[in-house]
Structure 1
């Protein structure tokens, strides 16, 4: 037997070449474990598992795909497989044996798309009608110019309505969205449309309902370190590291996802787990295949983006732009309320706003990032958090003027940073995106009260009666109200905004895309109270210049505006009276040939 147990046992039920299934559970606190075969209410077979070294229990049996099973711990507690590949109905139901090779792939030559072509469309699978519902949007999104969809987490969660961050079975696609083969079919169809598929995964915590690991594997968690969700996961344990790394490889190799976005990695208490994970991915993925690894990281750890990770969601960029667009300065916007225009200039010119500066809590945050390529920063005007963490889920279109929103959209789609939209952005959806769950009993009450308590610090919600009007996360209407009305695409203003997005994404693909590899920022400077100029040297030596004025009066750039023949896009018609000035609520994007730009 090899000295490293995880080289022998993979977590969960594995269908072997012989046709039998091997069940393996890491349960170091258990004295005996059995596999209970059969669904609830049926006659069941009990298979005793053999105890192995280091807390493993293992058994092989002739259990075909589709077999329902549970583990019984110490003859009393029945639990789903923590590495279940599918659940019969929900997190508390039996797990199912899954054949990973049952789906026949159609787009077998797909190798993905290079990162510089990436335009991400973040979506919630449940809001779009499950895996089959997402398929119905793929042709439209490809025509719009989207090159990658990013799914909010799909790991099995309690109930059938959830953002996905309450998942407890990371290997099992949410049963209410469809089967594993239906998920593969959706990914296959996306590839047929030339669209990459990225999955948001949560490795920093488990949800509050349906996680039984603590009952038989207390060593899965650290009891000396806590996170906002409870005891930290103990990534010092090899069995724990393998559990998550194998999960990563399952999504990328078996399901053929083109990338993963790792949620809140700042809450992962391990100095090298993420680096080890990236190394495994890069060593396991076939040469020539494009696979992306991106992170959400409040620590602005620039070094991580040099150690196997392609990009980070740039919350700094969003927050600074949001304050400039809306004037909001409460909660996490406080860090961007002072010298906001300078902060927008800093993220456009250097990536992060916070690169070691002290925030409003007196804490140093971030690392220098100016040496990183612009593509290492995923920029967005909205995402699930930035809409859904508002009490009433308002979208940006309800918080700023149309002229300002058009200008910001030009920044998003025509800068060299990697752009991301949230579902509905492209037609100026008026529907909210609210925080929703489907918990019950005491947990539902705790979530409801906790949600409303989050807003006590906001002036608008100081009144308890006002807070009581915040939608109940567990009400079905909270979920249905969050489903975008896609019929609005055919009406005004939806049709006009969709045309704008298609125009900008066409420009990005034709004029910028081939030039983006090798791009470098040339810096940004403030030219007015709410105005700036940013410049980039693109890979072919040409210069991309953005002149942005979100103020109410015209400003004069420090360097003359580029010649009209170099203008790539203006977010609105410019007054002819002052050709040298930059009008209010305006973005101008110019592309200057290599032999004519200041960077030449």
Structure 2
């Protein structure tokens, strides 16, 4: 059988193995699918008093399940060939918590489709049948325009570093006013600790964080608090250690190219496409996550990259409740939204422009950004700064005009895991810029209609670094431990004041009739020297944000009248009359006496 014939057979056979969608008369996917769960087409599941095992191994002459016996030793069960390289075995009496590996001819491997790898990526897989009873419905959907995203790393968010410990902090986040938590990768990767972008088993939770049902409990608790949960998933590549998928078939990975981080998936072939689509379905349906952040989509295999994203977005169009897809992509490519169906794109130009203005750093890619209010204003107007201009760090033209994108399609941040952790010192922006400058940048971020993202601890100005750490590094454990948040810091006056500022800014964003409803078409921005003025408007009135991006006091020439002529909704020290102190800012309502309602 040729590869093309095998691929066509794989597609037909694979669809019959995967759990089907159930739809209502209007063609919408209905909740029964969630209640019944989604089973990936390969791996292990439990059926009527037996465990069912399935694998795709077209090069193997024989395939077997190697079962760990409770009393010690192993039991080998031959799998039947179903054709097209697909094998299956149904083993009566086995079920939840059965440990197993898969033998391909004479070699034994962990299952890359495992639902749980409790002993790490090199150990046996566990047959996992969820016992969890959901309490808070199928998910929490809101459009991206209504979201404030909070990115966190499970291992360093708390001292314990588990789903359960992180869950106990969710109420704090909900009270502050964020609407979604985004978990850095939780798929199984080698070692106890790491960032998770070297995952190799994209159906299994990382054992150090907790079991699949402990993740379900975390997501369910978030939903009960009105929070959505987004998962950061890495489908562009597999990590360098524990990747056993290639042993099953060489169709999963490109042989002609590598990413900087590991083997690139080969979306020209059905096995790779189905692995990704099944993994995404699993997290979004069986685990009830509300959206995915797709890492490094610019590194997807070029010949099928747009197609796999389009396939994924098409599959989710009919799923209820709706799901969100966000791409991390360095190309500033608007077609990710307009053609491939992504809801949003990380727009790092905004971060870079803010960073160079507050720190005056110019090394690396920061050389492509000029400090000051003018560059920030240009970035906000375009959504991102580079729209096809020559980009000095690569010597190539970068980006395209994004006029067709809504404001919410741009995911803005002044800190995220990459921009902190890719520094050797792991220092946060609060350690590099004056406190007043950080507060001003935070206020601008939460005033704009773009989708804001906060990184864990940012809201109180955490002093702990966020370092790159890996178990493969000699000092990895020390770097991991140093990166854990110190939640006790929030009690000190300076940290409590910054937390209060974020809470007030988020409340204003949520409740103000203009800020909660106007979009990119109702946004204006201009600059003069070090002063930037952003304006948003709707039928309910106008809101102004004025800020001095300098430590030297400045006049406000762009504002009709003085600050005293407007309702002051929120302001820092040093914003008064017609002058702004160093790094001072103010959020202004309508002119005094207009009689307009500002808050619902």
Q: 2:185 aligns with which of 140, 153, 168?
A: 153
* Structure 2 residue 105 is matched with structure 1 residue 74: yes
Instruction: Decide whether aligned partners of structure 1 residues 417 and 165 sit closer, same or farther in structure 2, where only a CA change above 3 A counts.
Output: same
519 and 567 in structure 1: CA distance in 2 versus 1, 3 angstrom threshold: farther
Corresponding residue SS for 1:134: helix
Q: Which of 13, 22, 29 does residue 5 from structure 1 map onto?
A: 13
- Of 341, 354, 358 in structure 2, the residue corresponding to residue 321 of structure 1 is 354
- Normalising by structure 1, what TM-score? 0.87
Change (3 A) 1:550 1:40: farther
Q: What pairs up with 1:211-360 in 2 under 5 angstroms?
A: 211-269=243-301, 270-283=305-318, 285-286=319-320, 289-306=321-338, 307-336=340-369, 338=370, 340-360=372-392
The alignment partner of 1:107 has SS state of coil
CA distance in 1, matches of 2:364, 2:10: 52
| Counterpart position of 1:107 | 136
**Offset from partner CA, 1:126-178 (integer Å, 9 cap, x none):** 11220011111011111111211111100011111111111110110011111
User: 1:542 and 1:350 mapped to 2: Cα distance?
Assistant: 24
Q: Does the C-alpha gap of structure 1 residues 279 and 121 become closer, same or farther in structure 2, counting only changes over 3 Å?
A: same
- 2:408 pairs, out of 367, 375, 384, with 375
Q: Tell me the SS of whatever aligns to 1:419.
A: strand
Partner of 1:187: 219
Query: 1:41-81 CA distances to partner (integer Å, 9 max, x unpaired)?
Result: 92221111223333222222222111111011112x21111
Distance 1:262 1:505 in 2: 26
How far the C-alpha of 1:523 sits from its partner, in A, is: 3.7
Equivalents in 2 of 1:39, 1:496: separation in Å? 58
Partner residue, 1:132: 164
Gap runs ≥5 in structure 1: 449-471
Distance 1:137 1:55 in 2: 46
Q: Secondary structure at the match of 1:520?
A: helix
Distance 1:200 1:54 in 2: 32
1:243-275 deviation digits (Å, cap 9, x = unpaired) = 111111111111111111010100011231101
Q: Is the 8 A contact 2:553 2:579 kept in 1?
A: no
Q: Tell me the alpha carbon deviations over residues 388-439 of structure 1, each in whole angstroms, 9 at most, x when there is no partner.
A: 1111111111111111111101011121111111111111111111111113
Q: CA deviation at 1:373?
A: 1.5
> Of the candidates 410, 413, 418, which is equivalent to residue 443 of structure 2?
410
Distance 1:279 1:404, change over 3 A: same
The answer on whether the counterparts of 1:122 and 1:423 sit within 8 Å (CA) in structure 2 is yes
Whether 1:25 aligns to 2:58 is: no
Distance 1:34 1:158, change over 3 A: same
Match of 2:533 in 1: 533
Shift of 1:119: 1.2
**Counterpart secondary structure, 1:214:** helix
State yes or no: 1:489 paired with 2:518.
no
| Residue in 2 that maps onto 1:207 | 239
Give 1:2 deviation, angstroms: 8.8
Say how many residue pairs are matched: 553
Per-residue CA distance 1:80-133 (angstroms, 9 max, x = gap): 111110012101110011114x21001126543333321111111111220011
2:116 to 76, 86, 90: 86
Equivalent residue for 2:36? none
- Which residue, 411, 424, 428 being the options, matches 1:395? 428
Partner Cα distance (1:324, 1:518) in 2: 25
State the 1:40 CA deviation.
9.5
Q: Which residue in the other structure is 2:80 paired with?
A: 50
User: Quick one: distance in 1 between partners of 2:263 and 2:152?
Assistant: 30
Aligned-residue offset at 1:14: 4.1
Partner of 2:21: none
- Distance in 1 (alpha carbons) for counterparts of 2:466 and 2:140: 33
- SS of the counterpart of 1:367? coil
Partner deviation per Cα, 1:442-484 (whole Å, 9 max, x = no partner): xx4xxx6xxxxxxxxxxxxxxxxxxxxxxx3x2x221111001
Match of 1:560 in 2: 560
Alpha-carbon contact 2:514-2:542 (below 8 Å) kept? no
Report the Cα offset of residue 216 of structure 1: 3.1
Q: Classify the secondary structure of the residue corresponding to 1:51.
A: strand
Q: Distance in 2 between matches of 1:35 and 1:513?
A: 61
Contact 2:514–2:536 (8 Å) recurs in 1: no
Partner of 2:35: none
Contact 1:356 1:365 in 2 (8 A): yes
CA contact (8 A) 2:183 2:232 kept: yes
Residue 498 of structure 1 and its aligned partner are, at CA, apart by 1.2
Residue number in structure 2 paired with 1:511: 512
User: Is the CA contact (8 Å cut-off) linking 1:408 and 1:587 kept in structure 2?
Assistant: no
Deviation at 1:518, TM superposition (A): 4.8
Query: Quick one: distance in 2 between partners of 1:149 and 1:570?
Result: 28
Calculate the aligned-residue CA RMSD, in Å: 2.3
Q: Distance in 2 between matches of 1:541 and 1:116?
A: 18
* Matching residue of 1:453: none
Query: Counterparts of 2:464 and 2:54 in 1: how far apart (Å)?
Result: 45
Query: Offset of 1:583 from its aligned partner?
Result: 3.7
1:291-333: CA deviation from partner (whole Å, max 9, x where unpaired) = 2211100111211113422111121110111001110110121
Any idea what the Cα deviations from partners look like across 1:8-32, whole Å, max 9, x if unmatched?
2344334355343332222222222
Is the CA contact 1:426–1:498 (under 8 Å) kept in the aligned structure 2? yes
